[in-house]
Chains A and B, each alone.
Chain A
Amino acid sequence: MNKVTSILLVGVGGQGTILAGRVLSLAAALYGGQVKVSDIHGMAQRGGSVVTQVRFGPRVYAPVIDPGAADYIVAAEILEARRWLSYLRPEGVMIVNTQEIPPLPVLTGAADYPQGLLEEMRGLAGEIKVVPGLELAGAAGSVKALNLVLLGVLSRYLPFAPADWEAAITQAVPPRWLEVNKRAFELGRAASC
């Protein structure tokens, strides 16, 4: 690979997007070359939208991804997937978890949660991979491991060795959650083929 790969991880505060970004970037570092990650998480704990940008390749300059330039978007929530879709390249891949988390304007009745987003996105993106992430995470032992399920799905598209993924997960995840997260990753990886 001599080009730079750009991956956007998006979700809602509390969904583990930042940890997923950490695992992904550690795996990318083990793969070799350069890695840059931009993590704006000022309000992550307060239920706002969260985005982590990961870029790796032989030489990476900018830590940010321009609209229309992401090779992959991993979205932990459907509305966030749609929000960031314009960042995907025409041939890019969108991996989206089938979860809807209503934002505050919807909760208070000021807006409606948009319907039919998945169908709309199917028509707009190159490839869409829809993942029942919560179900798989539950099967792995905790719905909180959703982020690792999604990384498992993504892993099928990336050239990193399984041992590097495992090392990255071991480094980033606290020991008491390690087994569940490894299982979640494997379920995601298996689900994607």
Chain B
Amino acid sequence: MRELLLGNHAVARGAYEAGVSVAAAYPGTPSTEIIEALALYPEIYTEWAPNEKVALEVAAGAAIGGGRALAAMKHVGLNVAADPLMTLAYTGVNAGLVVVSADDPGLFSSQNEQDNRYYARLAQIPCLEPADSQEARDFTMLAFDLSERFDTPVMLRLTTRVAHSYSLVETGLRQEAGLKDYVKQPPKYVMLPAFGRARHPLVEERRERLKAYAETAPVNRVEWADRRVGVITAGIAYQYVKEALPGVSVLKLGLTYPLPEKLVREFAGGVGTCFVVEELEPFLEEQVRLLGLSVIGKEIIPRVGELSPALVAGTVGRRAALLVPDLAANWTVRDQALSQVAAALDLPARPPVMCPGCPHRGVFYTLKKLNLVVTGDIGCYTLGASPPLSSMDTCICMGASVGMALGMEKARGRDFARRLVAVIGDSTFLHSGMTGLLDWVYNRGSGTLIILDNGTTAMTGHQHHPGTGYTAAGDPTFKVDLEQLVRGLGVSRVRVVDPYDLDEVEATVKEEVDTAEPSVIIARRSCALLKKEEKGAVCKVDEGSCLGCRKCLELGCPALSFVEGQACIDALQCNGCGLCASVCPSQAISEAGVVYE
């Protein structure tokens, strides 16, 4: 069957067809849809794990136990899962184990744009890089085969433009992989120093075998054309090269680690001038240069951000045009916009905003009012860093808010801690905030942690987590009790507040930052997008009573605007949270009754 599939859905399809039996992930753009799609197949056990390390460990257990398994994560997720990965590279697998790393060049929704191909090289495991949805499916299936054939975890590396693009895919039927026998083999799976020492040479030897395989792997192919110019490329960059430089010879690498040295030498030797075109780091380029070959690459192609056909045209294209002017005469992609219209620079930006009725708003409004230092974390609530709320001081990685607050307190003293809170989402707390909180208790911090419990992983599209009471497939399950959990970690001051109640939030925060022991405030309210059906009475501005003081606009609510000197509420957008009514000094805002769309 031919279907238009999202890259991530194609990965899921490939895993399904390859007979995967266990799949685990923690959500993260641009990888989330892989598990969401796998969860729809009843044959496959899928789960949202609390974090990526656990997800990979679950998948590893399944694979060593004999069932094909997959773990998926965004690029920074692999930092969390790097620990098991590095040693799984030594133990190898039993049934196939595929680790999907979805990188985000251009930082569409990430805190950095690290190039995770280096992890494959660090772990000495194969790295496959698909360039469209068909390859996403095909390479996923190949990854399972390679994993079993070479007894190694395999990295499938996607980038946003592959993971989040649709293209047509020829699909097939599922081939049941069955369960492989499980045999107890401590020297293979118990990585004591002595056993690890014995495994390391096998890793080296495996790399040599993989290299030999890479020479003839069908996913590495030469497209000979004009031999005056050759381009070595992989992943989405291949598409840009084909678009921008038609007619040049191309070595398209599907397996980007380890490199097929002979093939690369042959190609580079067979063309007049050889370029290497890849997004982000010179991962291929450095390895090619190590072979003693002279190529042109990152000296003209940016290491920062995404590439595009126009960017390839403007860098490699310009240089290559001098070598093949006859060919270049037909190149239609231009580095400069064809349009006469310059990009409009002075237009007001349209940044993402907290939704109307977002339960995070009241907390950040209060933190701003109290002028506190806020170590922040990652989730929808990171929008609390943007104007007009502007009340977050740091955001580094998931879970960091907690440890960093303790560090600040230890560096600057307890008095400083009276002006300091850490803020974290519920999913993020369960991901990696818990251990930081344990540190507060253990090492006598006096901090205040606010857990923004909106009952979901909102940022990535409302995935379940251990605190929601539902599994990835939507089945009811145990629901962790946050209050009990933080008490169990040793925090005795635990308060629950309603973030719509600004007075309560303010009084509680003031009290807790003043106490000299660790405390947790759980601000509990469902994500406004989940509770749309329950939308209550919306608010309205009473005619004539608005003073035009703009106090309500400090909430940064998209339902509120200022028209002809008066605050104005868009009834269609308003969610009825009532925060604007609470902050209005002249009681000009009241309930307008329920509005139906």
Inter-chain CA distance A108–B339, complex, in Å, is 33
Q: Which residue of A lies closest to B313 (CB)?
A: A66
A29–B339 CB distance below 8 A = no
Decide if A113 is an interface residue (CB 8 Å cutoff). yes
Inter-chain CA distance A46–B562, complex, in Å, is 20
| A46 and B355 in contact, given A66-B337, A114-B347, A114-B348 (Cβ under 8 angstroms) | yes
Find chain A residues with CB under 8 A from B558 CB.
47, 104, 107
Provide the B158-169 mask, 1 if CB < 8 A to any CB of A, else 0: 001100111110
Q: Which residue of B lies closest to A34 (CB)?
A: B168
| A66 and B308 in contact, given A61-B240, A89-B339, A107-B560 (Cβ under 8 angstroms) | yes
List CB contacts (< 8 Å) of A27-59 with chain B.
29, 34-43, 45-49
Decide if B561 is an interface residue (CB 8 Å cutoff). yes
B308–A83 CB distance below 8 A = no
B342–A64 CB distance below 8 A = no
The count of residues in chain B whose C-beta lies closer than 8 Å to any C-beta of chain A is 56
Inter-chain CA distance A107–B242, complex, in Å, is 44
Provide the A101-120 mask, 1 if CB < 8 A to any CB of B, else 0: 01111111111111000000
* One of B115-123, B380-388, B418-426 at the interface: B380-388
A47–B161 CB distance below 8 A = no
Decide if A12 is an interface residue (CB 8 Å cutoff). yes
A61–B383 CB distance below 8 A = no
Find chain B residues with CB under 8 A from A75 CB.
none
Give the dominant DSSP class at A's interface.
mixed
Find chain A residues with CB under 8 A from B109 CB.
42-43
Inter-chain CA distance A92–B338, complex, in Å, is 11
Decide if A132 is an interface residue (CB 8 Å cutoff). no
Q: Which residue of A lies closest to B311 (CB)?
A: A66
Find chain A residues with CB under 8 A from B108 CB.
40, 42
The count of residues in chain A whose C-beta lies closer than 8 Å to any C-beta of chain B is 55
For the complex formed, measure the closest distance between the CB of A51 and the CB atoms of chain B, giving whole angstroms.
11
Q: Which residue of B lies closest to A41 (CB)?
A: B164
Decide if A7 is an interface residue (CB 8 Å cutoff). no
Provide the B365-391 mask, 1 if CB < 8 A to any CB of A, else 0: 000000000000000100100011000
Interface core residue of B161, B333, B344, B388 (most chain A CB under 10 Å):
B344
Find chain B residues with CB under 8 A from A105 CB.
348-349, 351, 387
B308–A103 CB distance below 8 A = no
Find chain A residues with CB under 8 A from B341 CB.
85-86, 88, 124-125
Find chain B residues with CB under 8 A from A63 CB.
132, 161, 165-167, 236, 239
Q: Which residue of A lies closest to B166 (CB)?
A: A37
| A67 and B343 in contact, given A62-B240, A107-B562 (Cβ under 8 angstroms) | yes
For the complex formed, measure the closest distance between the CB of B380 and the CB atoms of chain A, giving whole angstroms.
7
Decide if A79 is an interface residue (CB 8 Å cutoff). yes
Decide if B535 is an interface residue (CB 8 Å cutoff). no
For the complex formed, measure the closest distance between the CB of B204 and the CB atoms of chain A, giving whole angstroms.
38
Find chain A residues with CB under 8 A from B308 CB.
62, 64, 66
Find chain A residues with CB under 8 A from B349 CB.
103, 105
| A108 and B338 in contact, given A62-B308, A64-B161, A103-B349 (Cβ under 8 angstroms) | no
Inter-chain CA distance A68–B309, complex, in Å, is 12
B309–A64 CB distance below 8 A = yes
Find chain B residues with CB under 8 A from A37 CB.
4, 165-167
Give the dominant DSSP class at B's interface.
loop
Find chain A residues with CB under 8 A from B473 CB.
none
A79–B350 CB distance below 8 A = yes
Other-chain contact of B352, A48, A67, A79, A90 (Cβ < 8 Å): A48
B167–A36 CB distance below 8 A = yes
Decide if B243 is an interface residue (CB 8 Å cutoff). yes
Decide if A80 is an interface residue (CB 8 Å cutoff). yes
Find chain A residues with CB under 8 A from B168 CB.
29, 34-35
Find chain A residues with CB under 8 A from B554 CB.
108
B160–A40 CB distance below 8 A = yes
Decide if A13 is an interface residue (CB 8 Å cutoff). yes
Q: Which residue of A lies closest to B314 (CB)?
A: A66
Find chain A residues with CB under 8 A from B337 CB.
66-68, 86-87
For the complex formed, measure the closest distance between the CB of A122 and the CB atoms of chain B, giving whole angstroms.
12
Q: Which residue of B lies closest to A114 (CB)?
A: B347
B165–A36 CB distance below 8 A = yes
Inter-chain CA distance A21–B514, complex, in Å, is 53
A79–B347 CB distance below 8 A = yes
Find chain A residues with CB under 8 A from B330 CB.
none
Find chain A residues with CB under 8 A from B352 CB.
13, 43, 46-48
Other-chain contact of B239, A62, A110, A113 (Cβ < 8 Å): A62
Find chain B residues with CB under 8 A from A92 CB.
339
Q: Which residue of B lies closest to A26 (CB)?
A: B4
List CB contacts (< 8 Å) of B307-357 with chain A.
308-310, 333-334, 336-344, 347-355
Find chain B residues with CB under 8 A from A19 CB.
none
Other-chain contact of A79, B240, B348, B355, B380 (Cβ < 8 Å): B348
For the complex formed, measure the closest distance between the CB of B258 and the CB atoms of chain A, giving whole angstroms.
27
Decide if B550 is an interface residue (CB 8 Å cutoff). yes
Decide if A25 is an interface residue (CB 8 Å cutoff). yes
A103–B350 CB distance below 8 A = yes
For the complex formed, measure the closest distance between the CB of A65 and the CB atoms of chain B, giving whole angstroms.
9
For the complex formed, measure the closest distance between the CB of B471 and the CB atoms of chain A, giving whole angstroms.
23
Inter-chain CA distance A106–B348, complex, in Å, is 7
Decide if B466 is an interface residue (CB 8 Å cutoff). no
Inter-chain CA distance A172–B348, complex, in Å, is 33
| A62 and B243 in contact, given A49-B350, A111-B348 (Cβ under 8 angstroms) | yes
Decide if A156 is an interface residue (CB 8 Å cutoff). no
Provide the B67-108 mask, 1 if CB < 8 A to any CB of A, else 0: 000000000000000000000000000000000000000001
Q: Which residue of B lies closest to A21 (CB)?
A: B166
For the complex formed, measure the closest distance between the CB of A114 and the CB atoms of chain B, giving whole angstroms.
6
Find chain B residues with CB under 8 A from A47 CB.
350, 352-353, 355, 558
Inter-chain CA distance A63–B243, complex, in Å, is 10
A110–B339 CB distance below 8 A = no
Find chain B residues with CB under 8 A from A85 CB.
339, 341, 344
B556–A40 CB distance below 8 A = no
Inter-chain CA distance A53–B527, complex, in Å, is 30
Q: Which residue of A lies closest to B110 (CB)?
A: A42
Decide if B29 is an interface residue (CB 8 Å cutoff). yes
Inter-chain CA distance A90–B243, complex, in Å, is 20
For the complex formed, measure the closest distance between the CB of B212 and the CB atoms of chain A, giving whole angstroms.
31
Find chain A residues with CB under 8 A from B30 CB.
42
List CB contacts (< 8 Å) of B547-564 with chain A.
550, 553-554, 556, 558, 560-562
A61–B242 CB distance below 8 A = yes
Decide if A173 is an interface residue (CB 8 Å cutoff). no
10 A-B pairs with CB atoms under 8 Å apart are A39-B6, A39-B165, A42-B109, A61-B239, A62-B243, A66-B309, A83-B350, A85-B341, A87-B337, A105-B351
> Contacts A48-B352, A82-B347 given; 11 further ones with Cβ under 8 A?
A12-B350, A37-B165, A43-B352, A46-B354, A63-B166, A64-B161, A64-B309, A83-B344, A107-B558, A107-B561, A108-B387
What are the nearest 10 A-B pairs in CB distance?
A: A68-B338, A42-B109, A68-B337, A46-B352, A48-B352, A67-B337, A43-B352, A68-B339, A103-B350, A66-B310
